[in-house]
Chain A
Amino acid sequence: MLLSMQGISKSFSGVSALRSASLEIDDGEVMALVGQNGAGKSTLIKILTGAYQRDEGTITFEGDEVSFATPAESQTSGIATIYQEINLAPQRSVAENIYMAREPRIFGFLDRRAMRKGAAGVLRTFNLDIDVDMPVARFSAATRQMIAIARAVTQKARLVIMDEPTSSLDEKEVGILFETIRTLQKRGVAVLFIGHRLDELYAICDRVTIMRDGQTVAKSTMRDMPKMDLVRNMLGKELAAFEAMTREGGHDESRPVRLSLENVGAGLRVRDVSLTVREGEIAGLAGLLGSGRTETARIIFGIDQQDHGTIRINGVERTYKEPADAIADGIGLVSEDRKVDGIIPDMSIRENMTLALLPKLKKAGVVDRDRQNEIVTRYIKALGVKCVSPDQPIKELSGGNQQKVLLARWLCTDPRLLIIDEPTRGIDIGAKAEILKLLRNLADQGLSVLMISSELEELLAVADGVTVLSDGRSIAHLPRADLSETALMSAMAHQAD
């Protein structure tokens, strides 16, 4: 066995990210590592490469127990990582990048000819014939990736970790990458393939390790793991701790359509998405990681622009150049990552809540404090935000309460359509139910909600209908009547067919 990680645990300031996770890889095999966001994949990888230090557990590599203090250390020991944002010096030449830090020299001077020849030679073994004097930035993502792999090969790597290597590649490039992986395999190099496009996993990987909630929940050969089982293992069946919010009716065809997308696409991530959201309805948007859900939301909100397709708001065709236009049309977006895109941690609840409203709160350029306070007090009460005072910094609140403040930020702009991406991520179970109930009540009062969620229970509990995305395409529309866990899972698992 090439690598064995056993009983790996890690927590960050008391929050456990890995609980006795394990991973085993044999020489020359391609191992898939899959799991939802937050399942612990990247933490596990970072512990392996030395970017993080584990709290517990053992790592054995090539028969020796190891503990890497830095990524550089794991590299010299034969573990190369190809990151999503490929780690090459963009302005330096291909040859320089391949030999960076290990340049061939004659009498202390660079042996440029050896570098050129060596680089061209190793690239040719991957069927890549490029000018190795060109800066790396000149090449496509796929080629850059191959250059990074070539670098790994010249470093005599025994294990190459690829973190979502296909996320920025088109179909043809994926084919080239797979060829490269097979070439690596023939040389006895093992590959750890982190990905979430099922078809790709089945095409290239020998075995799969599935993680969920910081644990390794399944290991199997790909052959013995049907897609359905893989998806079930990944998503799990978290007992719905929140009360069943079953409702009658749901999808009411007579209600006016508030938002409709027809064959919308942009770049590689969103290829062909159609969906509708009616007045007073919660429309769910489901799909595996990387299926294009967040990217679709970004297009609707005007952060990115579509290449093709039509977006209609209340029946009128609209294309927003920037979010401000979408906001003016009564659209709000609560983003997936609160810490990055949402809250401003050091500012108070009051400031965070009224951020989107500020333009309307200004009187002759000065913020109207009285109105601001009135609004903040109202929403703190209405949404049940637990806080000491409106002036408390938002970072001191729990995840659930931060989410409520973000919700309030958009609610106080009086939106007609709210897009909410993973509304209960990182929120404890009790608060989850509360947030969902809140969304349901808002919809019942006439708000349209487009809810992106990876948690099936959540969609089952509140959505009036669910659109399933796969690989940037809307592949299924399930009305409330047809919604079930099995229906959702099979829609997500059978991607292309």
Chain B
Amino acid sequence: MNAILKTAAKTFTPKSSGDLARLGVFVALAGLILFGALRYDNFLSPFNILSFLRYNSMFALIALGMAFVIMTGGIDLSVGAVAAMSSVVAALLSPYHWFAGLSGGLAAGLVVGLINGFIVTKMRIQPFIATLATMLAAYGTGLLLADNQSVSVSYDTGFTIIGQDDFLGFPIPAWIAIVAYIVGWIVLERRALGRHILAIGDGEATASLMGLKVDRTLLAVYAASGFLAGLAGVILASQFGAGQPTEGVGWELFAIASVVVGGTLLTGGSGSVGATLGGALLLGIVFNILNFENGLGVISLSAYWQSVIRGSFLLVVVILQAGLVKKQDKASGM
């Protein structure tokens, strides 16, 4: 028995501290899916799966942007507010053309992202503070543009197709998220840029001594995060038929949670695109299961209780991860 364990340990040799934690996400994900499938009749029904994907693709998109920011050792608190603001911009422009709505929402997100990057690199302001400020500004801008209420989108220009229709039997938002994650994976794993992003997170001074263009890389990362938040905002407006200036509140925390659950260290320098997706899906499934639990009528959970349970779950995952990482570091003598 002991010998078997030893061989198993030899076959799986994690190369960095995050590897074990990342593996843990997928184990937890599989466990929860199994639990849901056994407990609820309709858990694996096409309807539940497709609406789950349609809704959670927004969170997956902002989590992807957040993952890159956190890999550099930074943080982007503005993504929730940016998604809300972009949803308003997209809704306002949707009557002209579906493309106007789409590109307007994306541009709004990109602009805030560039501003974030500019403040962080050129003005040397802590990312936490910089993006906290732009978060407040974006939130206010969204409310101003929307005149403090939700803005209905146009149903005549085809704008709602983006969020509501399917392509090859699969929700379009999910397709968008899949493409974004493939691009993200290529950038991180197969392009020099991805290696540079991680090296910067490992230590900016070292990275710059090695000849990396630190500022330019950071600017690109924050711009991408803003862009993806804008994309999530467009999907939000299109899916629910309205620009929602107050909807994105707290999304940034959800994104951070997904990234952390995905084994990306908040200190930067490590991270995985796949595990980030796993983290986002994991948090989504917890929410989904709580909904089913309510539906069963066994217990009745208010939204507040759901929040408490999700928070506790997150805490447990993070503590388990920290334990794994510590154990592994000890084993490797770091």
- State the A residues within 8 Å of B (CB): 71-72, 75-76, 87-93, 96-97, 100-103, 105, 108-110, 133-135, 137-138
Contacts and interface: CB of A to CB of B under 8 A. Distances in A.
Interface in B257-277: 269-270
B198 interface: yes
A110 B180 CA distance: 20
Contacts of B202: 89-92
B6 interface: no
A101 to B, nearest CB: 4
A202 to B, nearest CB: 31
B15 A72 contact: no
Contacts of B15: 93, 133-135
A102 B196 CA distance: 11
Contact of A89 (B17, B186, B190, B207): B207
A101 B211 contact: yes
A89 B198 contact: yes
Given A91-B270, A135-B15, A103 B192 contact: yes
A134 B117 CA distance: 31
A90 B269 contact: yes
Contacts of B212: 100-101
A300 B198 CA distance: 41
Contact of A87 (B16, B210, B332): B210
Contacts of A108: 191
Contacts of A101: 196, 210-212
B224 interface: no
B310 interface: no
A93 B190 CA distance: 14
Contacts of B190: 109-110
Contacts of A93: 15
B13 to A, nearest CB: 9
B199, B207, B209, most chain A CB atoms within 10 A: B209
A92 B211 contact: no
Given A133-B15, A138-B334, A87 B191 contact: no
Interface string B315-334: 00000000000000000101
B182 to A, nearest CB: 14
A87 B209 contact: yes
B203 interface: yes
Interface residues of B, number: 26
B192 A105 contact: yes
30 contacts: A71-B209, A72-B208, A72-B211, A75-B209, A76-B211, A87-B205, A87-B210, A88-B206, A89-B206, A89-B207, A91-B17, A91-B270, A92-B198, A92-B199, A92-B202, A93-B15, A96-B199, A100-B195, A100-B196, A100-B199, A100-B207, A100-B210, A100-B211, A101-B212, A103-B195, A105-B192, A109-B186, A134-B15, A135-B15, A135-B16
Contact of A137 (B195, B198, B334): B334
Interface string B183-205: 00010001110011011011101
A76 B209 CA distance: 11
B68 to A, nearest CB: 15
Nearest to A73: B211
A475 B11 CA distance: 50
Given A91-B16, A101-B212, 15 more contacts: A75-B209, A76-B211, A87-B205, A89-B203, A89-B269, A90-B269, A91-B17, A91-B201, A92-B202, A92-B269, A100-B212, A109-B190, A133-B15, A134-B15, A138-B334
A494 B248 CA distance: 72
A109 B210 contact: no
A96 B211 contact: no
B16 A109 contact: no
A100 B199 CA distance: 9
7 smallest CB-CB distances across A and B, nearest first, come from A89-B202, A101-B211, A89-B199, A91-B269, A103-B192, A100-B210, A87-B206
A131 to B, nearest CB: 9
A118 to B, nearest CB: 15
Contacts of A87: 205-206, 209-210
A247 B86 CA distance: 83
Contact of B332 (A72, A133, A138): A138
A42 B270 CA distance: 33
Nearest to B329: A137
A348 to B, nearest CB: 29
Interface in B87-110: none
A45 to B, nearest CB: 14
B270 to A, nearest CB: 5
B216 to A, nearest CB: 12
A137 B15 CA distance: 10
A57 to B, nearest CB: 24
A110 B191 contact: yes
A68 B53 CA distance: 55
Nearest to A136: B202
A91 B209 CA distance: 16
Given A87-B206, A90-B202, A138-B332, A75 B211 contact: yes
A110 B192 contact: yes
A20 B11 CA distance: 61
B202, B203, B212, most chain A CB atoms within 10 A: B202
Contacts of A109: 186, 190-191
Nearest to B16: A135
